[in-house]
Structures are given as C-alpha cells and as structure tokens.
C-alpha cells in the first residue's frame, strides 16, 4: 500500500525554497561587499576623487572634491588673445583723436609765409615771437645778423631794456637749431643797399634828417633779400622733410608773402614813473640818474619802419609786451 506523498512533497519544496533564498541572500551580500570594497568610500576621505558616474539617486556624487561646475557655476569663456596684436578699431580711434587735437591747436590764420624779425620785435614784442614759434604755426622766421648784434649791445645792465634783451637771447638760443622754421640770416642772404629802389621821401619824413646808419642798412638789405628770394627760404626748410614732387609743386605756387616785423609805434612811448607825493626820498643813498643807452634807437623800430616803407617792404606791426618789473642783477647776467 503506497504512502501518501502530499505532506512530504510540501516539506521538500519549503526546504528547497529556504535554501534558494539563503543562497540568493548570500550572493547579494557578496556583491555588496565587493562593491563597497571597490568604491570610493572604501579609501580615506582625503584620497577620494570625484567620479562623475558614481552618483546617488539625488544626483550628487558619492564623495571626493567638488568642482565649481558641479555646483552649477558658469564662467565666461576666455577669448584667445594674441599677445602684442593691436585691437581692431582702437588704434584708428586714437589716431583720429590725435589728428583732431592737432587741428584744434593749429591756427588757421597765417600772418605771412616769411617773417623777418627786427630787433624792436625781439626786445619789446617777445610774446608775438613766441606765438610764431608754437607748434602748428607755418611762418618761417628769419633773424637778421644785425638783430643779434643789437641784443648783445643791449643785454648788459639792470634796466628793463637789458632784461628784455636777455630774455630774447634766451628764446633764440632755445629755438634756433631746434625749430626748423626759425633760422638766422645766412652770410650771403642780402642785397646791396644801392640796388634797392627807394621812394622819394617827403620833408616831414624822419628818415630824411636821421640818415641811414650801417645797422639799419644791414637790416633792410636782409629783408629785401627775403622779399626777392622767398622760395629759397621755404625750400630750405622743406627739402629735407618732403618728397621731391611736393617741392616742385611749391615752386609753381603763388607769390609768397614776406613781411618785416617791426614794433608798433603807437605803443612806443614808455609809461611815466610814479610821482613821490610824500616828499621823502625812497633811499637814504642818492641813486644815479637813469640814462638811456646809446644803442636804444636800435630797439625802437622807428627808423627801420620809415626806410622799410620807402623800400616797399610789407610791414607787420607787433604790439609791445608789458614792461617787466626791475630786478637785481644776478651773477649769470653779469657774465
């Protein structure tokens, strides 16, 4: 008689199910242990590195250092700039700005093409000479040799006239040789006095009775040479700095204007000294009476203006500068 197999079969299935469950759990534990031992959490936290693929369900890495990109920070990309390469457009703007500034400094009005400086302008109207020396001006300034001799004769002493002569000498020393538009008369740049066609003088003309001293003749002859040879002075200043075709074009240009700069005779009279109303002397020691220098007529410009008009030379009248206050004579001025 066969035994019933129902309860035995059920017990065998239950035992087999438990054995399979235990084996599965054991396999899962082994897999977890391997994962933990091989992952970044198994090492020291100082040695951990960020693994982008090892993320937990919240989207953050398990461990390691975090870069700014992981926090969502965004930085602008760096442009590739070649060192030393000029920025396009910036250099052009700088050049345009410089050109505009030069145009603003440059005065549109030009007094003349060539200006011959009389000693009276150098002594009494030095501000006008400084104006012509500025950058942006176009006048060619000619200093006659006789004007330099006049400054040497007048610059000794402590009078206002001597101070003005010394100031003019310092300006010429600083400009001649540095500024190409200012030059001293060449030894050959003159005409003969007898070759000048002078107009007849009237009876009231001061030049009739004052005559024509040698220093005046040299000044007029220098100015007359500049009037007759203006292109020679202009080409001398531009031949070294300009191409040949520009120099040739200047030779075909209209007639140049040449002037002789002389002190305006309306401002020639010196101011009267202040009167002493107190009746007391300014100094207990009597001072010597002031006396005019014998070379002072050279700096007035009156005689030069009369003869220049008779010679037909165009005249530019310069206004006198303010009279400086007298100062003591220094050791440098005495030398």
What's the token pair of residue 198?
């002078």
Beta-carbon contacts of residue 296 (< 8 Å; ≥ 6 apart) = 154, 161
C-alpha–C-alpha distance, residues 283 and 280, integer Å = 9
pLDDT per position as a tens digit, 96-118:
777 776 666 555 568 999 999 99
C-alpha–C-alpha distance, residues 272 and 86, integer Å = 65
Q: Please, what are the domains in the chain?
A: 111-267+296-324 (3.40.50.1010)
What's the token pair of residue 301?
């410009």
- Identify the burial level of 123 via C-beta atoms within 10 angstroms of its C-beta, where 0-12 means exposed, 13-18 middle and 19 or more buried: buried
On the question of pLDDT at 281 being above 60, the answer is no
How far from chain centre, in Å, is Cα 134? 11
CB atoms within 10 A of CB 269: 8
Tell me, what's the pLDDT at 149?
96
CB atoms within 10 A of CB 248: 10
Tell me, what's the pLDDT at 242?
47
How far from chain centre, in Å, is Cα 335? 34
Instruction: Name the band, by pLDDT with cuts 50, 70 and 90, for residue 88.
Output: low
What's the token pair of residue 1?
């008689």
C-alpha–C-alpha distance, residues 311 and 197, integer Å = 6
C-alpha–C-alpha distance, residues 295 and 149, integer Å = 11
Instruction: Name the band, by pLDDT with cuts 50, 70 and 90, for residue 216.
Output: very high
Average pLDDT, the chain: 75
- Span 145-151, mean pLDDT? 96
pLDDT per position as a tens digit, 243-274:
444 445 445 556 889 999 999 988 555 544 44
The region of weakest confidence among 11-20, 213-222, 318-327 is 318-327
pTM of the shown model: 0.57
What's the token pair of residue 246?
């520009």
What's the token pair of residue 91?
């250099």
- Identify the burial level of 74 via C-beta atoms within 10 angstroms of its C-beta, where 0-12 means exposed, 13-18 middle and 19 or more buried: exposed
What's the token pair of residue 226?
């500049």
Instruction: Name the band, by pLDDT with cuts 50, 70 and 90, for residue 14.
Output: confident
């Amino acid at each position: 008689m066969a035994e019933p197999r129902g309860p035995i079969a059920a017990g065998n299935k239950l035992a087999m199910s438990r054995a399979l469950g235990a084996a599965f759990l054991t396999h899962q534990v082994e897999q977890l242990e391997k994962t933990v031992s091989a992952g970044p959490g198994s090492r020291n936290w100082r040695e951990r590195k960020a693994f982008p693929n090892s993320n937990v369900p919240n989207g953050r890495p398990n461990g390691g250092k975090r870069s700014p990109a992981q926090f969502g920070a965004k930085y602008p990309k760096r442009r590739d700039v070649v060192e030393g390469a000029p920025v396009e457009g910036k250099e052009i703007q700088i050049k345009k700005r410089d050109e505009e500034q030069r145009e603003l400094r440059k005065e549109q009005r030009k007094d003349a093409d060539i200006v011959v400086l009389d000693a009276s302008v150098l002594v009494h109207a030095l501000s006008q000479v400084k104006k012509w020396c500025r950058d942006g001006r176009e006048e060619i300034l000619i200093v006659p040799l006789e004007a330099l001799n006049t400054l040497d004769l007048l610059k000794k002493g402590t009078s206002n006239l001597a101070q003005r002569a010394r100031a003019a000498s310092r300006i010429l020393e600083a400009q001649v040789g540095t500024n190409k538009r200012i030059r001293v008369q060449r030894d050959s740049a003159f005409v003969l006095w007898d070759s000048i066609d002078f107009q007849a003088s009237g009876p009231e003309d001061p030049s009739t009775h004052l005559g024509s001293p040698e220093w005046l003749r040299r000044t007029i002859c220098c100015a007359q040479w500049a009037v007759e040879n203006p292109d020679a002075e202009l080409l001398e200043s531009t031949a070294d700095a300009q191409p040949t075709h520009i120099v040739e074009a200047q030779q075909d240009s209209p007639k140049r204007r040449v002037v002789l700069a002389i002190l305006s005779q309306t401002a020639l009279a010196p101011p009267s000294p202040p009167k002493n109303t107190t009746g007391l002397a300014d100094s207990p020691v009597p001072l010597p009476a002031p006396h005019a220098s014998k070379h002072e007529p050279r700096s007035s410009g009156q005689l030069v203006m009369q003869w220049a008009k008779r010679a037909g030379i165009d005249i530019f009248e310069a206004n006198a500068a303010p009279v400086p206050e007298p100062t003591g004579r220094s050791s440098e001025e005495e030398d």
